[in-house]
Structure formats: structure tokens, C-alpha cells
Structure 1
């Protein structure tokens, strides 16, 4: 009996250690979702309680599972907040946020300076903008754009298809970019990266393609794109670079629903559009859409 209890304690300690390895990232997700370090800590604690009641042998990706749990907890809280018409949590002054950071850190036994840094780096301005989004838009934007979670993983959380989830994030991104001055510099840099990608693709410059692709870049294509001879999914910079090397002769930069992307238009007829996501100055995701109805529903603008 003592042996069984000892094994149970050992398993619990191992589970706690795995959870602690993810705690800072989970708190970062929750803080950007909720705009409050105290509420973020509560959401992370709830994830731990649920984890302790779960058979982890059935959890293939513990980090992904924890992210999903925290996201669902935050989504429920945001929806409850909206229904009660509470004042946005992100409206607190920076000084208040730093005080709260220190209090949360002390209670959690972590580094107050580290927590205050989280509050400062996110910024009240961004939190104010995020508070203008719907809960589903905020979740899609935070998880995908800030933490690199795929739309396939986010879709079940917001109860939408991956395509609809992508549109949620796109709408949220337009609002954030429209209100955040520093993003204009990012957009200019992104345009440079996109132009370099298209030029390298046309000229067949493999190394130049690798230089502008994130090492973990992912290419997705919808069913219509696959029927045109494309692949449904490719992962990794070398694989994507091989697929695009020597191509893109009829591709051009464009705005797709206000976001940088690519039109593939032989003889002026648009057959495919590619939505492009950037991370740390490189292309991290390409999503090819060839479905005519989906393309017709987009707002397209060719760029010179």
C-alpha cells in the first residue's frame, strides 16, 4: 500500500514539474486574453486543477492540452465579462499593473521583476485594443499571432471551422494594426520580406528563399488548391522552398482582407490567393485558397 502511495506521489511530482515548465507561457497567454495578471494566474491555476483530475496517459501533447484548457477558461471569462458589461480590464494604468504584477508574483512564489516585465512588454495600449475585440476574435488573434498556435487547433475552442477561425484572426489583426503605430513599421518590413520571397521564387534562388522562410514554416492548401495540383500541407523551410523555387512567375503581392498576401493570376485571371503570416521577420505560414466562393468573399487589392 505504501508502495502504491509512493508511486502516486512520484507521478504527481512529475506532473507538477511538467506543468511548471509551461507555467510562464500559459500565464502569458492568459494575460493577453484577460488583461489582468491576477485573473491570468487564476486561469493558470484552474488549468492545474483540471490537469490533476485528468488521466495524462491519454494526453499526447501536454503543452497543447494545457494551452487549450487555459484558452477555454479565458474565453468563458471574457464572454461572462461581456454579458455583464464590465469595464475593460486592460484600461488600468501601467503603475497599477506593475503593483498587481508584484502582488501576483509574491503570492505565486515567482519573480516580481519577471511579472512586472510581462505587464510592461504587453503594454496597456495593446490591451486596450484587444478589449475592443469579440472574445472569439481576441482568442484567435492571441493564440495564432502571438503564440503561433495553428488555426486547426484553435477552431474547436471557438467552435468554428479553421477557415472561419482564420477570418476571426484576420479581422482582429486589422483592428490591432489600425490602432497600433508601431505596426506600420512591421508592415513595411513584411512587404520587403514578401517581395524578396516572390523575387527568389521567380528566379529560382533556393538559398534566398530559405533566408525569408521561418525554419518551421507551414504551407496549407484548401481542397480546391489540391485539385489544381498543389499539396495539402508542407512543413519546414527546405520543403516549402523546394516547392516554390522557380515558381511565382504569375504571382503578385496584394492585400487580402487588408492583410499582405499573394495573388496568382495567369493572364490576369485570379486562380489562387495565398494568405501569408509573418513571425520575427520571416514567413511562418502560407495558406493557399483556390475556392472561388472563398476568393469572391475576400476584399482584394493589388499592390504596385
Structure 2
């Protein structure tokens, strides 16, 4: 392959990886899809490809659709793999992030809802909301009619809005940090009543059960969520043995949302990501499966002198 063809592919690699991540919810799987697309680009008759960007977008999208359909048919994924892979803010795979819709499309709350959409519905939604493709182009990419594209996007938007229940409003970093600090104070002090007061009446939570559950744990309502969160943050000898030491808690930004990271011996062992609404917590996503935290942990290791929010359990 000549250098011009390689350069043309590499110029769009970041956009393709971001598309694949939104579709698959996994950075590692997204990178594999992009590499497969590169191999197809390498083998293609490139002189016959009029618009390389459109061609590559179609290839990556359909590679992701094949993977989503295959995983759905096998029912083989562990609970931890059913949640999106969290990425530390600044990870290039999170882009583009110029509009509210683009930023929201990569939030863990939306990615979690999208896990439950039909593959083609998910693809239409991502192409429209995150990459601003017109329905005519989405129809060509997915080999459907333009009206079908409109219907898929409409249903996906309605599903996302219904399940988020108004969450996801943009919050400035300073306000978000204050909410997380209050959340940590409530959870680590044992004041369940304070934690209940921080949650919206329709709050929801989802977790992979410290990376050990065989299926996702879903909670609803402030009392149930607060009791489980407090139990999860309560230190016990068994938990410390399981974690391999005493966790240190940090506040971070993950997929555009405030989060609490639990580190043991300097490595990220768990993440709790908060979805905020009107100064309260409308949603929680807890991830501890090691395979879902590797990229976030690698990014965290590159940061310097981040002070802990809670130095020890």
C-alpha cells in the first residue's frame, strides 16, 4: 500500500475509532474493528472508491453491526462486559465533542441504554446524533430506506429520553465536583439519610457487582440505592482482602461525567460514574470488571500529583 493511502486512512482513524467505540461500548473492540477496516482498505480497489471517508464509515459501521449481532445471538458476555467501558476524560476515543448531542452520546448513561437497542437502531442513532449524518447517508451506510433511518433514530431518541428521565443536563465542573464531594461524605460517613436526600426520586443504578456478578445488578429508588451504595462503600476485612488492599478514593471525570475512582496500590480497581440532574444524582453506574478498566487505568497512570478525595477507607 502506498503512503498516500496509508496517510488517508490514518487521518480518519480517530473518527472511526470514536464511531466504533460508541457502537460497541468497548475501546479494545473498537480498535479491532478499525484495524479490520484498515485491512479491507488495504485490499480494496481504492481507485474505484469515490469518497474514502464514506466507504470507511460504512465498513466500520457494518463490522460493528456484525459483532453486535453475533454477541446478541451467543448470549456469552459476562456482566461486566454488558456495561460500557469507561474512559478518562481527554481520551481521544471520546471525540467528537463539539455539541451537546455529541458529548451526551458518549456518556455512560446513554451508552448503557444503547446496549439494549437493536443493533441497526443503535447505529442509526450514533451516526445521526454523534456524527451529524443526514438520513440519506445513514440509509446508504445501513442499506435501509431514508424513512427507516428516521424511524430508527426517533425510536432510539425516545428510548434514551425515557430511560434517562431527564438526566444528563450539562453541569459545570466545579458544581459537579461539589456534588461528588457531598456524595463521598455521605457514603463514607454512614449517613444513609444524607445519601437518600442527594438522589432524585426516580434515581436508578446499575452495577457489575464488583466485577463478579453473572448479570447486571439494577436498582431503583433512593432508599434502595442508598442502602446498596453504603454497603458497597462500607469497609470490611473481606472487601479489603478481595481488593488486595485498602482503596484510596479519587474524584475524576469519566465519559464527560463526574466519577469516583477506587485505587489500590495506585491502580484503578473500580469506578462509580454519576449522572446528575438539578444538583442531585439521577443515575449511578458502578464498574469493577478488570477488563473494563484497563484503558482508564493506563490513562490515570499518566497523570501527575492528583490529590485523593478520601485517603483511605
Please state which band the TM-score falls in when normalised by the shorter chain: 0.3 to 0.5
TM-score, scaled relative to structure 1: 0.48
Which has the larger Rg?
Answer: 1
Q: Which structure's residues are more often helix, by fraction? A: 1
Q: Which has the higher contact order (CA 8 A, sep 6+)?
A: 2
